[in-house]
Structure 1
């Protein structure tokens, strides 16, 4: 029995270490995307889940399932990712599912990497085009770029991006802008109580605010779920 368990563990370890079929090891985020593929094999999506896709702010939301207890979730956050990375891996982190809705968090790392708000919006437009082609009218809830202590110098660029996304959302029925900025600002700056020691990632208190704003957006959106869900 012990030998069988050791063999199974070795096989699983090799499987997790190997790159996903068609995904070279030097591709950005290859290992994380491969782990998502393993998870999909072990726990196949049933359809009509709420898909959270984006960067580390979703990846590190460890209590997400507890924060949305009545919602079936798929969490596909991979740390440091930009919208262009989500587009690159679209088929593996979005297109393979049939979600009821998509919660989307990306754009903040894009600004930190030196991209202009205009370039980021072009990437978002490409994402939305692929979403329409694959998932039709499934609504996307874009969570605004968050203010943080570590990236406070980028706040004006973040604000410009947020305004542009809000404008895009006002012009289409499948995109909802979720403002989390005002809830995270205290006395004119990001509330230090919301962040861990790096000044960038959030404590549970920060995620509590996010849950409130995102849940409210889900409830109030004119179209909150994909047709058939």
Structure 2
């Protein structure tokens, strides 16, 4: 009887270490998946973490940055907003002790009715939360992209991008990566070849463009 109780207690104590942490809410399954992956394949410190919404989740980072060592860690979860990455920052980012964090978020925030000011403030909260734990870590924010599905929100998106860009310009460890202009055609509208048929998510050509813009930031690691 005592042996049975002892074994049960060992399982309970071992649960978190084995990636069995309990999560609740909309992102429970995603966070459980990440925790399990971390337990089974711990990442090396000093790498690059990509975090944010579906534009991150769908990005084949190994294909885009094959020379990164350690390999880039993808912590994107579709439909998420900046506040979600703030909530789970420890699991998604700081526990991995990366040298660089690349963020793409804000797209869903604005589609949900949040203001450009809110996107700005949430980006700052996320960046500061990361750097409170990892003061030497660099932060890169990929501009909220133009898309045909959300073209009616273009003014708010550009306002948010401008605000985040200014924040990054004022901080030596923050970088703003402008994908807005390169993703527009000569007519000033989103380039169709960069977006899937849904008018929102990106094609391989879209990711090729993004990779070319992000790669200079990762040049030290990408040349290993």
Deviations 1:63-99 (A, max 9, x none): 3201101112110000011110001111110121111
Partner of 1:120, secondary structure, is helix
Counting matched residue pairs gives 201
Partner of 2:96, secondary structure, is coil
Question: Residue 217 of structure 1 corresponds to which residue in structure 2?
Answer: 217
CA distance in 2, matches of 1:211, 1:128: 21
Question: Residue 66 of structure 1 corresponds to which residue in structure 2?
Answer: 63
| TM-score calculated relative to the size of structure 2 | 0.86
| TM-score calculated relative to the size of structure 1 | 0.84
CA distance in 1, matches of 2:218, 2:141: 11
Question: Residue 27 of structure 2 corresponds to which residue in structure 1?
Answer: 29
Cα displacement (A) at 1:157: 0.6
- Root mean square deviation of aligned Cα: 1.6
CA distance in 2, matches of 1:50, 1:65: 12
CA distance in 2, matches of 1:201, 1:129: 28
Indicate if the aligned counterparts of 1:178 and 1:217 stay in contact, CA closer than 8 A.
Answer: no
Indicate if the aligned counterparts of 2:46 and 2:99 stay in contact, CA closer than 8 A.
Answer: yes
Gaps of 5+ in 1: 1-14
CA distance in 1, matches of 2:180, 2:121: 22
Cα displacement (A) at 1:217: 3.5
Structure 1 stretches of at least 4 aligned residues deviating more than 6 Å after TM superposition: none
CA distance in 1, matches of 2:132, 2:147: 35
CA distance in 1, matches of 2:107, 2:216: 22
